[in-house]
């Protein structure tokens, strides 16, 4: 069991390179199952969620080859059955994309329900509604999902999403690529990783149009061949380093980003008194003055991302005055607030709202990473706290941040990994990030 030990007080200086987008990669890997042929994927983030999904495909008979530090070739031609290893599926939320890709490739899927949840209820009813509309019989029973296309192949359909869902949009998009006829998804999510997954599918011969708008149209094709794709930079990883500089102070050039994807994060930081300069594929963040308060409401893209909410809460703990965060995507994403309170934070969280009274400084304390982004928030809090912060349960952080400790050290953070002997695993620790 690893923990991070963070000694606060160092401002951050230098350059940091952002990896491929986690939430694109975790859909692209299952989507590779749709191809007869080799898929070459570049800029793959080196995170444990990616390793787990690759190992699921390998166990199903895929050949996976690492051909460069972040370049992988996946060949699923040899996968002959629509059953994924249930124990691994339960450990990762994004395993739900295997439902869409197995249905698209084999006309049926037997999967475990994607893993438990760590910030409230995370239903998949919109995914099921979508594939049912495309003619699949779906049964959810005893922790499993059984789905079968009526006549061996899905039919195109017009689907109006009741709720804007990233996962359901991508799952339906993947399944629809080989359906009979045209599928139209209305009220689709518009996140950059949806465009990225659509581009990957199109590189395999799919005909997906309109990704990135609220109407995605997919004209089904007979089958998909191998493809090649370079994953976009991770918007949330970049935003997390922006938040870290805002909290700790200093000046850092964040490289390999698409500045447009960071617009709302940059706008909020400017409002808080942080200087931001955008270049073609990098962004400079500089904080020399005290932080000003701000209000934040999280929303689907292009709104402020929910996956940046905990990190900004940590930053706002040190801003002058009272800030209010309203969570507009998830029902319960404030479990981490109790951990920040251990460091002296003045936060009242109730339902979807958190009210933060800015204080002079946080104080280091032993805290836990309740989930991936909450874990990042604890590290950010530790970077600017007085004294030492020990962050436990860092396996959550490692699901989604590539070499978090190494990258922070390179920009001057005092952070180290300590390995302690394993304790018996509790079921709760198996719960899911992503
Ligand atoms: C994705 O989760 C991301 N995970 C999450 O990132 C992210 O927080 C979320 O999108 C929103 O941006 C992955 O991509 C693996 P949703 P997803 O379906 O797809 C409700 C991180 O930290 N809903 O867009 O599961 C749901 O309850 C993670 O990187 C339904 O009601 O999220 C929520 O309120 C955490 N029925 C809202 O929609 C459904 O069938 C948005 O969820 C599906 C979702």
Specify the residue with its C-alpha closest to ligand 1, atom 21.
Answer: 434
- The pLDDT value recorded for residue 267 is 98
CB 61 within 8 A of CB 68: no
CA pair distance 40, 86, nearest whole angstrom: 26
Alpha-carbon 8 to chain mean position: 27
Q: Name the residue of 122, 265, 333 to mutate for ligand 1: max ligand atoms within 8 A of Cβ.
A: 122
CA pair distance 374, 347, nearest whole angstrom: 15
Q: Among this protein's residues, is 370 annotated catalytic?
A: no
- The pLDDT value recorded for residue 80 is 86
Q: Is 139 exposed, middle or buried (0-12, 13-18, 19+ CB in 10 A)?
A: exposed
- The pLDDT value recorded for residue 74 is 98
The H-or-E segment that residue 13 falls in is: strand 12-17
Alpha-carbon 40 to chain mean position: 21
- The pLDDT value recorded for residue 93 is 87
- The pLDDT value recorded for residue 429 is 39
Q: How many CB atoms lie within 10 A of CB 360?
A: 9
**Which tens digit of pLDDT belongs to each residue from 168-216?**
999 999 999 999 999 999 999 999 999 999 999 999 999 999 999 999 9
- Residues of the chain below pLDDT 50: 116-117, 426-433
- Nearest-atom number in ligand 1 for the CA of 170 is 19
- Nearest partner of 130 among 196, 184, 202, judged by Cα: 184
- Nearest-atom number in ligand 1 for the CA of 128 is 40
Return the DSSP state at 426. P
CB 170 within 8 A of CB 434: no
Q: How far is the CA of 9 from the centre of ligand 1 (A)?
A: 35
- The pLDDT value recorded for residue 426 is 47
Q: How far is the CA of 387 from the centre of ligand 1 (A)?
A: 35
CB 73 within 8 A of CB 6: no
CA pair distance 220, 410, nearest whole angstrom: 47
- The pLDDT value recorded for residue 351 is 93
- The pLDDT value recorded for residue 111 is 87
Regarding the beta carbon of 434 and ligand 1, being less than 6 Å apart is answered yes
- The pLDDT value recorded for residue 430 is 39
Return the DSSP state at 304. B
3-state helix, strand, coil in the chain (%, to 5): 35, 30, 35
- The packing angle between helices 235-248 and 372-384, to 10°, is 20
């Amino acid at each position: 069991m690893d923990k991070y030990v963070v000694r606060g007080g160092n401002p951050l200086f230098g350059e940091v390179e952002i990896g491929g987008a986690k939430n694109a990669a975790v859909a692209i890997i299952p989507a590779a199952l749709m191809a007869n042929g080799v898929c070459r994927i570049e800029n793959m983030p080196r995170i444990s969620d990616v390793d787990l999904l690759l190992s699921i495909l390998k166990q199903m008979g895929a050949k996976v080859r690492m051909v460069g530090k972040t370049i992988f070739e996946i060949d699923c031609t040899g996968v002959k059955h629509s059953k994924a290893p249930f124990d691994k599926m339960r450990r990762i939320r994004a395993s739900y994309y295997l439902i869409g890709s197995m249905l698209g490739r084999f006309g049926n899927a037997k999967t475990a329900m994607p893993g438990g949840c760590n910030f409230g209820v995370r239903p998949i009813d919109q995914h099921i509604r979508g594939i049912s509309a495309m003619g699949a019989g779906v049964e959810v029973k005893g922790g499993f999902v059984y789905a079968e296309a009526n006549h061996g192949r899905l039919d195109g359909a017009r689907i109006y999403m009741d709720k804007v869902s990233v996962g359901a949009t991508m799952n339906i998009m993947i399944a629809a690529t080989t359906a009979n006829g045209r599928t139209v998804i209305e009220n689709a999510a518009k996140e950059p990783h949806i465009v990225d997954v659509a581009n990957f599918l199109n590189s395999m011969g799919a005909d997906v149009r309109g990704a990135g708008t609220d109407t995605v149209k997919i004209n089904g094709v007979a089958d998909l061949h191998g493809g090649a794709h370079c994953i976009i930079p991770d918007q949330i990883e970049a935003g997390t380093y922006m938040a870290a500089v805002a909290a700790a102070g200093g000046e850092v050039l964040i490289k390999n980003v698409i500045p447009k994807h960071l617009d709302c994060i940059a706008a909020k930081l400017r409002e808080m008194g942080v200087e931001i300069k955008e270049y073609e594929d990098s962004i400079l963040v500089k904080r020399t003055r005290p932080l000003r308060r701000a209000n934040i409401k999280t929303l689907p893209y292009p709104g402020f991302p929910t996956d940046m909410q905990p990190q900004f809460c940590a930053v706002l703990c040190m801003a002058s005055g009272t800030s209010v965060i309203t969570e507009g995507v998830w029902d319960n994403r404030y479990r981490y607030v109790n951990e920040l309170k251990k460091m002296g934070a003045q936060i009242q969280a109730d339902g979807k709202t958190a009210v933060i009274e800015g204080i002079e400084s946080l104080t280091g304390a032993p805290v836990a990473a309740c989930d991936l982004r909450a874990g990042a928030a604890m590290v950010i809090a530790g970077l600017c706290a007085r004294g030492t912060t020990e962050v436990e349960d860092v396996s959550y952080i490692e699901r989604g941040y590539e070499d978090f400790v190494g990258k922070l050290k390179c920009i001057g953070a005092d952070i180290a990994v300590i390995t302690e002997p394993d304790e018996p695993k509790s079921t709760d620790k198996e719960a899911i990030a992503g």
